[in-house]
């Protein structure tokens, strides 16, 4: 039964509701017209390939489990291939997660006003992060993971209630709900396996909450079999599709090197950039972690009280389950994953919910002291000052976004993370369209160029769509990469100078030599190097279109593109070594 505060609607409730709707009205059109992340486009290409009878892993290289590709296959089959459509789907899935989080603390006497303010914070956070984090695996798996935790809460309630009333809940009933929960965790696992950490934290915590060994054994068997059933179904799909041998090869021969290289991304500068992009939301972890530990401590203290109130105890159980899920998510995102933006939104969404529930409960029972009030006011000020939706240049685009679909102009104005120069890339697209390319004749050397494939409706020249990433992170497989390039039917290769190591000033520079299309520092004296020595037939800003001349040539290192000065110094050193050897 709901508590009175949860049902009460006051003037503050209406104020919060108005703010909530204003946030949505202001930001939804802008959100839908934002560009897609490169990863989303890659999964789209893989989904299209699989839907057209292609073989995942074999025909297109992938280092992750296939769950995200299955999701793209489903979504794209239903809504088509536009970027606007998939962003609408993303908003719907996120709204489902937000609703589950908003409702979680209702048994802790969360007021209607508090619930709406949590929703405002959740959506404000999601609208403030860059397109790199939208429709990404980590945020997508939060929805099935939250649904699984809701089932875990139901299972805990039923078993504890049966114990207290001497009831006999059947083993079959326990097993069925656990099996369904296992299916949900497995759904998230197929998309990203790191969800196993918060799942394990929640289940182990429920062991100590329920304290019924026999039924928890049944519960565990249901969970395990639910996970194994979906695991078997997915494995069967890969076997029938012919993807299993390539999948096995990728995960045993390529992924160990790929994972080891990813760990090198935790550098001070990158961490500082991460803090900047998630400012001020990232500081919520400093409050949420202690609150999560306090929730676990308080439940253990309260459980020892002989005069326990059932409603209060159920609310404290909810706090423990949320705290365990949050702590598990924080651990796996910081300890086991790389420092990419899309990894971290779910833990911050859980932190918002945890802090919001605590503050609302404290406000109703004790009132907020000056420390909490001043801290909230300061945080709100930081959010307002940094919130993208309040920037005049974005607000002026609201009507345009409402009445028009995405295009290069809108993408360049709405992007919160400048990974692509959309107008220049559009110029490259226009040039390549005039060349009447067919499947396999275009190779995008850098991952930032992946947008060209769907916009030109051509298949990549090799199965390595993120070619430069694989070249850098899997250097022991350079022979396979070179073979794929050499045997391809590519006629043109496009390169991104900034993504290849040039800074923006160097990449956009114009050579004083009118015969040189490339920038001043471009290694024009570099001979026989793929793709840099192939003639540049079109340039737009940082992007170069090279026409392939056989033979393909050789790879140059595994890192950044050398400058002309570095090439000359290299040749000078080689000449000096040769002279020294001859004189000796």
d(CA 570, CA 576): 10
Q: What confidence score (pLDDT) does residue 165 get?
A: 55
d(CA 202, CA 350): 14
Q: What confidence score (pLDDT) does residue 310 get?
A: 67
Strands (E), 449-519: 492-496
Residue with token string 């110029």? 427
Nearest Cα residue to 125 out of 85, 97, 84, 149: 97
**CB-CB contact of 422 with 416 (8 Å):** no
- What are the CA-CA distances from residue 536 to residues 351, 495, 515, 545 (Å)? 50, 10, 11, 6
Q: What confidence score (pLDDT) does residue 141 get?
A: 98
End-to-end Cα, the chain, rounded Å: 93
Q: What 3-state class would DSSP assign to 513? A: coil
Q: What confidence score (pLDDT) does residue 312 get?
A: 73
457-481 as b/e: b if 16+ CB within 10 A: ebbbbbbbbbbbbbbebbeebeebb
Give the pLDDT of the chain (584 residues) as one tens digit per residue: 344 444 578 888 999 999 999 999 999 999 999 999 999 999 999 999 999 999 999 999 999 999 999 999 999 999 999 999 999 999 999 999 999 999 999 988 899 999 999 999 999 999 999 999 999 999 999 999 999 999 999 999 888 877 655 556 678 888 999 999 999 999 999 999 999 999 999 999 999 888 888 888 999 999 999 999 999 999 999 999 999 999 999 999 998 888 776 666 677 888 898 999 999 999 999 999 999 999 999 888 877 665 566 667 888 899 999 999 999 999 999 988 888 999 999 999 999 999 999 999 888 878 888 889 899 999 999 999 999 989 999 999 999 999 988 888 899 999 998 889 999 999 999 999 999 999 999 999 999 999 999 999 999 999 999 999 998 888 889 999 999 999 999 999 999 999 999 999 999 999 998 889 999 999 998 888 999 999 999 999 999 999 999 999 988 766 678 888 988 888 888 788 888 777 76
Nearest Cα residue to 327 out of 360, 289, 365, 374: 289
Query: Per residue, what are the HEC states of 139-170?
Result: HHCHHHHHHHHHHHHHHHHHHHHHHHCCCCCC
Nearest Cα residue to 195 out of 23, 332, 82: 332
**CB-CB contact of 299 with 156 (8 Å):** no
**CB-CB contact of 88 with 32 (8 Å):** yes
Q: What confidence score (pLDDT) does residue 7 get?
A: 56
pLDDT, tens only, 472-527: 888 889 999 999 999 999 999 999 999 999 999 999 999 998 889 999 999 998 88
Q: What 3-state class would DSSP assign to 25? A: helix
Residue 231 structure tokens? 């695991």
């Amino acid at each position: 039964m709901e508590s009175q505060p949860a049902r009460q609607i006051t003037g503050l409730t209406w104020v919060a509701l108005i703010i909530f709707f204003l946030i949505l009205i202001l930001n939804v059109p802008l959100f839908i017209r934002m560009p897609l992340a490169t990863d989303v486009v890659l999964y789209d290409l893989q989904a299209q390939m699989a839907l057209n009878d292609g073989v995942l892993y074999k025909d297109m290289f992938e280092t992750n489990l296939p769950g995200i590709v299955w999701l793209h296959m489903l979504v794209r089959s239903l809504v088509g291939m536009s970027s606007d459509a998939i962003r609408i789907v993303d908003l719907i899935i996120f709204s489902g997660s937000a609703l589950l989080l908003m409702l979680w603390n209702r048994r802790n006497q969360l007021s209607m006003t508090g619930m709406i303010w949590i929703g405002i914070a959740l959506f404000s956070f999601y609208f403030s992060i860059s397109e790199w984090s939208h429709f990404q695996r980590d945020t997508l798996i939060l929805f099935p993971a939250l649904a699984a935790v809701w089932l875990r809460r139901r299972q805990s309630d039923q078993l504890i209630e049966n114990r207290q009333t001497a009831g006999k809940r059947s083993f079959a009933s326990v097993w069925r709900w656990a099996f369904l929960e296992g299916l949900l965790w497995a759904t998230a696992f197929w998309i990203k396996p790191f969800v196993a950490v918060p799942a394990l934290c929640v289940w182990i915590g429920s062991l100590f909450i329920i304290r019924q060994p026999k039924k928890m054994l049944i519960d565990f068997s249901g969970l395990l079999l639910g996970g194994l059933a979906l695991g078997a179904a997915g494995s069967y799909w890969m076997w029938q599709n012919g993807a299993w041998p390539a999948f096995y090869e990728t995960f045993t021969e390529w992924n160990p090197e790929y994972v080891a290289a990813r760990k090198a991304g935790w550098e001070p500068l990158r961490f500082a950039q991460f803090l900047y992009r998630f400012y001020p939301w990232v500081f919520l972890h400093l409050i949420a972690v202690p609150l999560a530990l306090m929730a676990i401590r308080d439940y253990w203290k309260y459980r020892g009280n002989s005069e326990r109130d059932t409603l209060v105890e159920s609310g404290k159980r909810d706090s423990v389950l949320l705290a365990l899920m949050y702590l598990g998510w924080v651990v796996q995102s910081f300890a086991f994953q790389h420092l990419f933006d899309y990894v971290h939104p779910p833990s911050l969404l859980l932190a918002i919910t945890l802090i919001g529930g605590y503050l609302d409960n404290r406000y109703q029972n004790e009132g907020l002291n000056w420390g909490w009030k001043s801290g909230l006011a300061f945080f709100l000020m930081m959010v307002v000052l940094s919130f993208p939706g309040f920037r005049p240049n974005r607000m002026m685009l609201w009507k345009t976004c409402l009445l028009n679909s995405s295009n290069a102009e809108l993408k360049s104005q709405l992007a919160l993370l400048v990974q692509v120069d959309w107008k220049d890339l559009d110029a490259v697209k226009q040039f390549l369209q005039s060349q009447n390319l067919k499947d396999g004749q275009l190779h995008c050397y850098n991952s930032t160029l992946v947008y060209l494939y769907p916009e030109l409706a051509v298949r990549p020249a090799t199965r390595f769509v993120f070619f430069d990433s694989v070249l850098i992170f899997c250097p022991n497989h350079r022979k396979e990469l070179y073979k794929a390039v050499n045997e391809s039917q590519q006629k043109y290769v496009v390169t991104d100078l900034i993504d290849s190591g040039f800074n923006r000033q160097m990449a956009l520079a114009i050579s004083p030599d009118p015969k040189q299309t490339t920038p001043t520092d471009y290694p024009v004296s570099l001979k026989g190097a793929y793709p840099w020595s192939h003639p540049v037939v079109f340039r737009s800003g940082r992007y170069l279109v090279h026409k392939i001349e056989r033979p393909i040539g050789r790879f140059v290192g595994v890192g950044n593109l050398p400058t002309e000065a570095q090439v000359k110094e290299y040749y000078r050193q080689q000449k000096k070594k040769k002279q020294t050897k001859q004189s000796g």
